[in-house]
Amino acid sequence: MNGSECVQNNEKDSVTNVYKYHCDCSKSFGVSSYAGLECEYSATVVCEYGKSSSISAFCTNGGTCLQTTFEGQAHAGCGCPIDFEGTHCQYLLGTAPAQDLAVTYSASGNGAGLTGLAIFFISAITVGVLATFSVVVWRKHQRKIREEEGFPEDEIEKKEFDEVTEVKKVPDII
């Protein structure tokens, strides 16, 4: 369909024991890019800078580019409408061949998550905020205990300062 070429798979049909075929959509590239089991879906958006069509970086069926690439860069995939799946949103939900589901994205966020580095930084910032909050709460609690023991606020700070700056006198040896 759309100028694509039928190509024999390495997989045989379990009933007929005849090799299966698929459409090579790269052969249908021209005015538009195509994808799907029979190259039936035309590109609705191109994910390559400065290009009106691309052999690999495009989305079909209203999908949105997860990343715009330069010529020769790998296609990052598409955010697909709810009824579609695949790297180009070229399959109706539930119809994609298993090998094509390795990189599947959807508009609801499935598969289009954060990178490991982003998760690390978010986690590190969260731990830092929690640690700071814990120290503030602990210090307030310690001050409250000291005040209940009869130390006024300025005496507490003076005592803490004296404890830190105290110099021990060394006995004279004569």
Using alpha carbons, select from 97, 101, 95 the residue that is nearest to residue 20.
97
Dihedral sign computed on CA atoms, order 31, 98, 103, 78: positive
Where do the domains of the chain lie?
Answer: 5-101, 116-165
Using alpha carbons, select from 38, 74, 9 the residue that is nearest to residue 60.
38
Q: What is the pLDDT along the chain (174 residues), one digit of tens a residue?
A: 666 677 777 777 788 888 877 777 776 656 567 777 667 777 889 998 988 888 889 999 999 999 998 888 888 899 999 999 888 998 888 887 766 655 444 443 444 444 566 677 788 889 989 989 999 999 888 888 877 776 655 555 566 555 655 555 666 666
CA distances from 99 to 74, 86, 102, 122, 149 (A): 17, 10, 6, 32, 71
Alpha-carbon Rg for the chain, nearest whole angstrom, is 32
Question: Would you state the torsion angle of the CA atoms of residues 27, 28, 33, 35, taken in this order, to the nearest 10 degrees?
Answer: -80
